[in-house]
RNA sequence: GCCCCCGUAGCCCAACAGGCAGAGGCAGCCCCCUUAAAAGGGGUCGAGUGCCGGUUCGAAUCCGGUCGGGGGCACCA
């Protein structure tokens, strides 16, 4: 048998080939028997549902052309193990995966090749499906969805209309149907903006009023226009240096008529409800930071006939406001600017210009030409005096008003009161311009910094003197409100969500415009509004720097589609369709609900099914997906938008869950080494060898880098290669044992063999490699083995439940090593069965195969899973290490039931310890039950 | 600049809630099987927890400082 070639491994050794056969066979079996179908309470997928359910979800992938590398499935396998563990323990588990199918790459490919994005995307989806099927993921494939399917985006459009037909009632603190607002106007319960009666307004005027309340509304406010992409993008899609996240093009602020989602109405709830979620602190912090709630006051500073409104978080420092600053774009700049400089003007304030007017114009021009990057990198304070003076309301002081670009139009009121004593930016400006600095909070003794931002007693502040910062703020706000100079207020960084894109490959808006240009919502019966075919998929793109260009979306050129004749209740009329598409985030804002009811054509999700899978599980619970795994890169965008939609639908009574994702878990990134040669060109990482700590590609010395896996770095390893070389179970086992799920770590192909060897050993303990027959025995395992077994069972339960797959795997290896060592003739049946059951969540195929070899009745997918017997978890006797002054000096073994005094006596009697203690009396003897004894001399 | 996370054998990682630093894997070393080979079998070696200080009978674990790595935000008033 052993004298032939390399093929001469025993016929039933668990090799990659055998693993592959087993895996394919079981995948087909699962498929054909619908093993992972999870029944719904009602509807097409209805079945008998256990009360105990679990909804596990992966952040669904955008199917890119490159397919998956080994980093992608980490989370997919993680959710699968979790799902399998709970399914085996009797829960009704919903786990599936769909595709975030709209997106720019397919559209760009279409622009280049003319291939319809749908075709590209469908092909890519097939690749993804092939790859994930090979991994043996237990998905309910009946629930697969793709956001580009009209059956799916019909409901995305439907939800858009629900939001469109709603407004936020601040008093009630929730969204309500817009018809109720309209009724309030019509009944005169609510005044129109200009005081006319509702009936006196034209239809278009009425609609314009309602537009200002709708949760999704048309706005002419400044948006981020990216000529290089030919589209606008949201604030969240603009990087810190003012460029587009996609394509890295310059972004320009332009006033364009666009759809906005009134996410700001939910700012408080989006922040406050974070406390109710089981999410990583890091993600919560990022969301809080993004929403940026700050408490403070609005204060009005009179200047000539008008007044400058400022927002400040430090009203307690008002007495130290020695000047004011307006953003260059602030509308009041022109109003208040003086015609001439005052006689004694500081030359630093004028930039040498003849008049304030010319100085301001020059400064504005210079500011507008500075890119955001320049403004950021160059923090030198610049500015120019307006020639005007404002009055500080607390003390009547006359303070100069400047224009400076360190104040941003986009935050607060675009104007500030400057308190150099308590704000470093103001300090810097004041120093550069020779402005007075008044401290209003006493810094601690020995403070040698500039602006002091800490807590302390108020000074130079009239009626605030002596108060701490918090108390002083309250007192000042009360004073401002009493005297009509301002009021306490809350400011947010969060802006409304720009919701239109000038692209082809996205959801069309279910909106048409009438002859007045008033938007009209299409009735539900006309959904979906399907994407028309076009000749040219590209929006008109421009020179990236051409700020003054206009968006021209591809749909606007589908003239037959744009112009429609419809009867929308006023007889047949011609309307124009909205030619924008929704942003890529729309489809992922609600997909968990469609997973629940993927084939329902009456509702986006049947209420009973929603309540069962996503509803609150206890009073105060937010509801939502039980476990949501994905990368931390979606911390703000997707997760904030999805929470917002969820809350609107909750307010409208469409869903019972207040939050989409009750528990969130971020998987770590699998990174990899990459190598560059002397020219800096990447070489194939798999061909690099290490010699004496140096790296070589052939004979050439190469340099090692560490980072993401990517085609351009030539360091991609695919799950396909790994499955071919080792089998899917080995690959799964390896990925899960590399470390905790949330830790990023380097990929190491050479380590995969460890997982392979484990499975081979386990297989060999149960199966004769020569004959394929089982070799389990019916002998009763000894006490030690039973203890090892039940300890493993208890530990593995806990590890699986807490996503600690690396330690669960280690415990299985440990147990298997015990079997190898103690049962060379084959594993005792009870141990073998439990081991296979415990292995199943991690390595489902080999577990199924072994289970059936052991005579298990059917698939292991729904259990059983072993339970630990308490009897074997408690020890009869315990070994105590004896420390003398904290160092281990000896050991004793005593019955587990021994009292502390008995343990103490035994410890002191121990030979080596007794020698050390000698005649002296120990100061203290500490007995930690079950752990150790420490004798302090 | 502000905020957050992480530093344990050559490498990836364990150590429940302060209690014997090691569960597991890779690599190394030794032995076995083999004409030979290894994705074969058995065994074995290996760090005092980045550094300094504190609390404690006892610190990888808690506290303060410091160094190194990673991430987020960034003229947000």
User: Is A426 a domain residue?
Assistant: yes
Mean pLDDT of A43-52: 93
Tens digit of each residue's pLDDT (9 = 90 or more) over A706-722? 888 888 888 999 999 99
| Distance from C-alpha of A887 to C-alpha of A882, rounded to nearest angstrom | 8
Name beta bridge partners: A302: A307
Confidence of residue A539 (pLDDT cuts 50, 70, 90): confident
Q: What is the pLDDT of residues A808-852, one digit of tens each?
A: 999 999 999 999 989 988 899 999 999 999 999 999 999 999 999
A918: domain CATH number? 3.10.20.590
User: pLDDT tens digits for A564-598?
Assistant: 999 988 889 999 999 999 999 999 999 999 999 99
Whether the beta carbon of A817 falls within 7 A of nucleic chain B: the reply is yes
Q: From the Cβ of A9, is strand B under 7 Å away?
A: yes
* A317 closest-nt by C1' vs CA: B77
* Residues A528 and A385 both lie in one domain: no
Q: What is the pLDDT of residues A359-395, one digit of tens each?
A: 999 998 887 776 555 666 666 889 999 999 999 999 9
Which of A455, A476, A491 is at the close of a domain? A491
- Whether the predicted pLDDT of A5 surpasses 60: no
Strand, coil or helix: A598: coil
For residue A360, the SS3 value is: helix
Asked if residue A374 keeps its beta carbon closer than 7 A to nucleic acid strand B, the reply is: no
Q: Is the CB of A609 under 7 A from strand B?
A: no
Tell if A238 CB is < 7 Å from nucleic strand B: no
Q: Is the CB of A289 under 7 A from strand B?
A: yes
Phi, psi of A92 (to 5 degrees): -80, 110
Tell whether A827 and A893 lie within a shared domain. Answer: no
**Residues 611-640 of chain A: which lie with beta carbon within 7 Å of strand B?**
632, 636
Q: Is residue A650 part of a domain?
A: yes
- Give the pLDDT score at A4: 32
For A288-321, how does the pLDDT look when each residue is reduced to its tens digit (9 = 90+)? 989 999 889 999 999 988 999 999 999 999 999 9
Poorest-pLDDT segment among A98-102, A219-223, A652-656, A902-906 = A219-223
The angle formed by the CA atoms of residues A18, A22 and A25, to the nearest 5 degrees, is 140
- Whole-number pLDDT of residue A149: 97
Coil, strand, or helix at residue A545? coil
Across all strands, nucleotide nearest A881 (CA–C1'): B20
CA distance A631 to A100: 15
Q: Is the CB of A718 under 7 A from strand B?
A: no
d(CA A935, C1' B55) / Å: 20
Mean per-residue pLDDT for A621-635?
93
Write down which residues 569-598 in A have CB closer than 7 A to strand B.
none
**Helix count and strand count (H, E) for chain A:** 27, 33
| pLDDT tier for residue A204 given thresholds of 50, 70 and 90 | very high
Residue span of the structural domain in which A907 resides: 875-936
The answer to whether the beta carbons of residues A388 and A304 sit under 8 Å apart is yes
Q: Integer distance in angstroms from CA A757 to C1' B45?
A: 21
Q: Among A98, A95, A109, A102, which residue's Cα sits nearest to residue A66?
A: A109
Average pLDDT over residues A236-249: 78
Q: Tell me, what's the pLDDT at A933?
A: 85
Q: Å between A288 CA and B63 C1'?
A: 28
Closest nucleotide to A423, Cα to C1': B77
Residue A74 has pLDDT above 70, yes or no: yes
Q: Is the CB of A197 under 7 A from strand B?
A: no
Domain final residue, candidates A457, A491, A525: A491
CATH of the domain at A642: 3.40.50.620
Q: Both A484 and A343 in a single domain?
A: yes
Do A481 and A525 belong together in one domain? no
3-state secondary structure of A180: helix
Q: Is residue A105 predicted with pLDDT exceeding 80?
A: yes
Residues forming a β-bridge with A176 = A167
**pLDDT-wise least confident of A213-227, A337-351, A420-434, A885-899:** A885-899
Closest nucleotide (C1' vs CA) to A14 is B39
Looking across all nucleic acid strands, the nucleotide with the smallest C1' to CA distance from residue A314 is: B77
> What local confidence, expressed as pLDDT, does residue A3 receive?
32
How do residues A430-484 score in pLDDT, each as one tens digit?
999 999 999 999 887 777 778 888 888 999 999 999 998 889 999 999 999 999 9
Q: Check if residue A885 sits with its Cβ under 7 angstroms from strand B.
A: yes
Residue A414 CB lies within 7 Å of the nucleic strand B: yes
Q: Is A171 a known ligand-binding residue?
A: no
CA closest to B41 C1', residue: A761
Residue A25: its H or E element: helix A16-33
Q: Give CA–CA dist A231/A237, Å, rounded.
A: 12
The integer distance in angstroms from the CA atom of A288 to the C1' atom of B76 is 13
Taking residues A637-657, what's their average pLDDT? 96
Query: Is the distance between the Cβ of A902 and the closest atom of strand B smaller than 7 Å?
Result: no
pLDDT confidence of residue A255: 80
Residue-level pLDDT at A549:
87
Structure confidence at residue A702 (pLDDT)? 85
Q: Among A503-507, A767-771, A790-794, where is mean pLDDT lowest?
A: A767-771
| Same structural domain, A453 and A312 | yes
Between CA A742 and CA A733 the distance in angstroms is: 16
Q: What is the pLDDT of residue A372?
A: 57
* A329 CB contact with strand B at below 7 Å: no
Closest listed residue to residue A651, CA positions, set A215, A318, A53: A215
Same domain, A351 and A445: yes
Could you check: is the Cβ of residue A294 within 7 Å of any atom of nucleic acid strand B?
yes
Judge whether residue A235 contacts strand B, using its CB and a 7 Å cut-off. no
Would you state the pLDDT for residue A377? 60
Closest nucleotide to A930: CA versus each C1': B19
Q: Is A85 in the same domain as A101?
A: yes
Residue A622 Cα to chain centre, angstroms: 18
Interatomic CA–C1' length for residue A691 and nucleotide B37, angstroms: 23
**Rounded (to 5) percent helix, strand, coil in chain A:** 40, 20, 40
Residue for token digits 């008044």?
A438
Q: Each residue of A334-360: pLDDT tens digit?
A: 999 999 999 889 999 998 899 999 999
pLDDT of residue A378: 62
Whether residues A304 and A451 share a domain: the answer is: yes
More confident residue, A329 or A626: A626
Nearest residue (CA) to C1' of B6: A743
When mean pLDDT is compared across A35-44, A222-231, A746-755, the lowest value belongs to A222-231
Q: Using the CA of A880, give the nucleotide whose C1' is nearest.
A: B20
Cβ atoms of residues A672 and A717 within 8 Å: yes
Residue A700 lies in a domain: no
- Read off the tokens for A224: 């981020």
Provide the CA A300 to C1' B67 distance, Å, integer.
Answer: 49
User: Which bases of strand B sit closer than 7 A to a protein CB?
Assistant: 3-5, 11-16, 19-21, 23-27, 33-43, 57-59, 70-77
Query: Given A453, A471, A491, which residue is the final one in a domain?
Result: A491
Q: Per CA to C1' distance, which residue is closest to B20?
A: A881
- Residues A17-38 have a mean pLDDT of 95
Provide the pLDDT for residue A108. Answer: 85
Nucleotide nearest the Cα atom of A19 (by C1'): B39
Mean pLDDT check: name the lowest of A329-338, A367-376, A550-559: A367-376
CA of A9 to C1' of B37 (A): 12
Return phi, psi of residue A331, to 5°.
-65, -25
Is residue A44 included in any domain, yes or no?
no
Percentage, residues of chain A above pLDDT 90: 63
pLDDT of residue A916: 78
Return the DSSP state at A449. Answer: -
Q: How far apart are the C-alpha atoms of A877 and A891, rounded to whole Å?
A: 13
Q: Is residue A762 part of a domain?
A: yes
- Verify if strand B has an atom below 7 Å from the CB of A286: yes
**What pLDDT is recorded for position A925?**
85
pLDDT tier for residue A6 given thresholds of 50, 70 and 90: very low
Half-sphere exposure of residue A123, counting CA atoms within 13 Å on the CB side?
Answer: 9
Asked if the Cβ of residue A871 lies within 7 A of any atom of strand B, the reply is: no
A550 CA, B47 C1': Å apart: 64
A48 inside domain: no
Phi, psi of A139 (to 5 degrees): -90, 145
Higher pLDDT, residue A889 or A646? A646
The 3-state DSSP class for residue A312 equals strand
- Using 50, 70 and 90 to split pLDDT, how confident is the model at A700? confident
Considering the domain architecture, whether residues A879 and A816 belong to the same structural domain is answered as: no
Mean pLDDT of chain A: 90
Estimate in Å the CA A247 to C1' B30 gap, whole number.
Answer: 58
Q: Are the CB atoms for A78 and A736 separated by under 8 Å?
A: yes
Domain count, chain A: 5
pLDDT of residue A370: 67
For A822 and B23, how far is CA from C1' in angstroms? Answer: 19
Q: Does the pLDDT at position A755 exceed 50?
A: yes
Domain CATH code at residue A5: 1.10.730.10
* Residue whose CA is minimally distant from B58 C1': A886
Average pLDDT, integer, range A475-503: 92
What's the rounded Cα separation, in Å, for the pair A613 and A838? Answer: 26
Q: What is the pLDDT, as a whole number, of residue A198? A: 94
CA gap A927, A921 in Å, rounded: 16
Q: Which nucleotide, over all strands, has the C1' atom closest to the CA of A312? A: B77
In residues, how long is chain A?
A: 937
- Residue A765 within any structural domain of the chain: yes
Give the side-chain half-sphere CA count within 13 A for A82: 25
- A234 with A111, same domain? no
**Which nucleotide is the nearest neighbour of A808, by CA and C1'?**
B24
Å from the A891 CA to the B57 C1': 18
Q: Is the CB of A751 under 7 A from strand B?
A: yes
Q: Which among A465, A551, A456, A562 has a CA at the least distance from the CA of A508? A: A562
**Same domain, yes or no: A190 and A57:** no
Q: Which residue is nearest nucleotide B76, judged by alpha carbon to C1' distance?
A: A411
Question: What is the pLDDT at residue A893?
Answer: 83
Across A898-908, b (16+ Cβ under 10 Å) vs e yields beeeebbebbb
Q: Is the dihedral of CA A66, A69, A72, A73 positive or negative?
A: positive
Inform me whether the pLDDT recorded for A690 exceeds 80: no
Q: Which residues are within 8 A (CB) of A918 and not within 5 positions of it... i.e. 6 or more apart?
A: none
User: What pLDDT shows up at residue A635?
Assistant: 87
The per-residue pLDDT for A676 is: 87
pLDDT surpassing 90 at residue A678: no
The answer to whether residue A42 scores a pLDDT higher than 60 is yes
CA→C1' distance for A922 and B2 (Å): 52
Distance CA A235, CA A498 (A): 8
CA of A817: nearest nucleotide by C1' is: B24
CA of A675 to C1' of B54 (A): 45
The answer to whether some atom of strand B lies closer than 7 Å to the beta carbon of A67 is no
Residue A719 lies in a domain: no
Residue A691, CB, strand B, below 7 Å:
no
Q: How far is CA A768 from the centre of its chain?
A: 48
Tell whether A244 and A345 lie within a shared domain.
no
How many CB atoms are located within 10 Å of the residue A216 CB?
A: 25
Judged against a pLDDT cut of 50, whether residue A2 lies above it is answered with: no
């Amino acid at each position: 048998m052993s004298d032939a070639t390399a093929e001469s491994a025993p016929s039933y050794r668990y090799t990659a080939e055998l693993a592959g056969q087993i895996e394919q066979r079981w995948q087909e079996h699962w498929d054909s028997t619908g093993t992972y179908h999870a029944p719904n309470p009602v509807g097409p997928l209805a079945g008998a549902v256990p009360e105990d359910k679990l909804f596990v979800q992966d952040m669904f992938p955008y199917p890119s052309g490159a397919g998956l590398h080994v980093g992608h499935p980490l989370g997919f396998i993680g959710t699968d193990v979790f799902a399998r563990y709970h399914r085996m323990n009797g829960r009704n588990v919903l786990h599936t995966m769909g595709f975030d199918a709209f997106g720019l790459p397919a559209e760009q490919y279409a622009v280049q090749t003319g291939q319809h994005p749908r075709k590209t995307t469908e092909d890519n989806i097939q690749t993804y499906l092939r790859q994930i099927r090979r991994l043996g993921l237990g998905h309910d494939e009946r629930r697969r969805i793709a956001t580009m399917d009209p059956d799916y985006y019909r409901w995305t459009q439907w939800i858009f209309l629900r939001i469109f037909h709603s407004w936020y009632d601040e008093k009630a603190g929730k969204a309500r149907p817009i018809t109720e607002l309209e009724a309030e106007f019509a009944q005169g319960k609510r005044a129109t903006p200009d005081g006319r009666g509702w009936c006196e307004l034209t239809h278009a005027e009425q609609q314009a009023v309602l537009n200002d309340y709708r949760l999704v509304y048309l706005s002419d406010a400044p948006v981020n226009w990216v000529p290089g992409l030919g589209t606008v993008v949201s604030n969240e899609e603009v990087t810190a240096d003012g460029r587009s996240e996609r394509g890295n093009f310059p972004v320009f602020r332009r006033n364009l008529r666009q759809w906005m989602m009134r996410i700001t109405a939910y700012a408080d709830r989006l922040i406050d409800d974070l406390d109710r979620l089981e999410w990583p602190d890091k993600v919560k912090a990022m969301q809080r930071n993004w929403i940026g709630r700050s408490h403070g006051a609005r204060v009005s500073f009179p200047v000539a006939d008008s007044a400058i409104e400022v927002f400040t978080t430090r009203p307690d420092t008002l007495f130290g406001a020695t000047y004011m600053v307006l953003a260059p774009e602030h509308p009041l700049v022109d109003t208040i600017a003086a015609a001439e400089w005052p006689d004694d003007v500081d030359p630093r304030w004028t930039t040498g210009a003849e008049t304030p007017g010319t100085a301001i114009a020059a400064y504005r021009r210079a500011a507008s030409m500075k890119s955001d990057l320049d403004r950021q990198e160059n923090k030198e304070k610049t500015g120019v005096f307006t020639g005007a003076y404002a009055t500080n309301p607390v003390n009547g002081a006359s303070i100069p008003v400047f224009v400076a670009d360190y104040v941003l139009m986009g935050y607060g009121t675009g104007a500030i009161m400057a308190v150099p004593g308590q704000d470093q930016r103001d300090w810097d400006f004041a120093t550069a311009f020779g402005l007075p600095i008044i401290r209003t909070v006493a810094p601690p003794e020995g403070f040698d910094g500039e602006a002091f931002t800490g807590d302390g007693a108020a000074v130079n502040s009239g009626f605030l003197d002596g108060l701490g910062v918090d108390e002083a703020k309250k007192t000042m706000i009360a004073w401002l409100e009493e005297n009509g100079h301002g009021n306490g207020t809350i400011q947010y960084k969060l802006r409304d969500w720009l919701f239109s894109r000038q692209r082809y490959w996205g959801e069309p808006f279910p909106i048409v415009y009438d002859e007045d240009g008033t938007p009209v919502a299409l009735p539900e019966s006309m959904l979906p509004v399907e994407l028309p075919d076009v000749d040219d998929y590209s929006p008109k793109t421009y020179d990236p720097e051409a700020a003054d260009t206009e968006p021209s979306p591809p749909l606007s050129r589908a003239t037959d589609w744009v112009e429609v004749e419809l009867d929308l209740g006023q007889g047949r009329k011609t309307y124009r369709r909205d030619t924008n598409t929704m942003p890529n985030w729309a489809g992922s804002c609600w997909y968990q609900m469609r997973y629940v009811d993927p084939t329902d054509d009456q509702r986006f999700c049947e209420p009973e099914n929603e309540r069962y899978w996503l509803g609150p599980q206890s009073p105060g619970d937010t509801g939502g997906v039980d476990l949501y795994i994905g990368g931390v890169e979606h911390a703000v965008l997707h997760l904030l938008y999805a929470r917002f939609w969820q809350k609107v639908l909750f307010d409208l009574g469409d869903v019972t869950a207040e939050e989409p994702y009750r528990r969130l878990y971020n998987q770590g990134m699998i990174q990899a080494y990459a190598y560059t040669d002397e020219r800096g060109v990447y070489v194939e990482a798999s061909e690099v060898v290490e010699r004496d700590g140096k790296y070589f590609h052939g004979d050439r010395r190469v340099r090692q880098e560490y980072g993401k896996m990517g085609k351009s770095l030539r360091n991609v390893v695919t799950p396909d290669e790994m499955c071919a070389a080792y089998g899917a179970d080995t690959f799964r086992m390896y990925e899960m044992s590399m470390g905790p799920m949330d830790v990023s770590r380097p990929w190491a192909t050479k380590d995969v063999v460890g997982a392979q060897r484990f499975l081979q050993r386990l297989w060999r303990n149960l199966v004769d490699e020569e004959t394929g027959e089982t070799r389990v025995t019916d002998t009763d395992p000894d006490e030690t083995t039973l203890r090892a077994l039940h300890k493993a069972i208890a530990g593995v339960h806990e590890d699986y439940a807490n996503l600690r797959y690396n330690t669960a795997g280690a415990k299985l290896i440990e147990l298997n090593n015990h079997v190898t060592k103690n049962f060379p003739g084959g594993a005792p049946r009870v141990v073998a069965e439990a081991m296979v059951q415990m292995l199943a969540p991690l390595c489902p195929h080999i577990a199924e195969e072994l289970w059936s070899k052991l005579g298990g009745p059917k698939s292991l997918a729904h259990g059983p899973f072993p339970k630990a017997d308490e009897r074997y978890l408690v020890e009869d006797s315990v070994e105590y290490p004896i420390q003398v002054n904290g160092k281990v000096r000896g050991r004793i073994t005593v019955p587990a039931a021994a009292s502390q005094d008995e343990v103490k006596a035994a410890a002191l009697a121990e030979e080596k310890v007794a020698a050390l203690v000698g005649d002296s009396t120990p100061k203290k003897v500490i007995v930690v039950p079950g752990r150790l004894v420490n004798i302090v001399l």
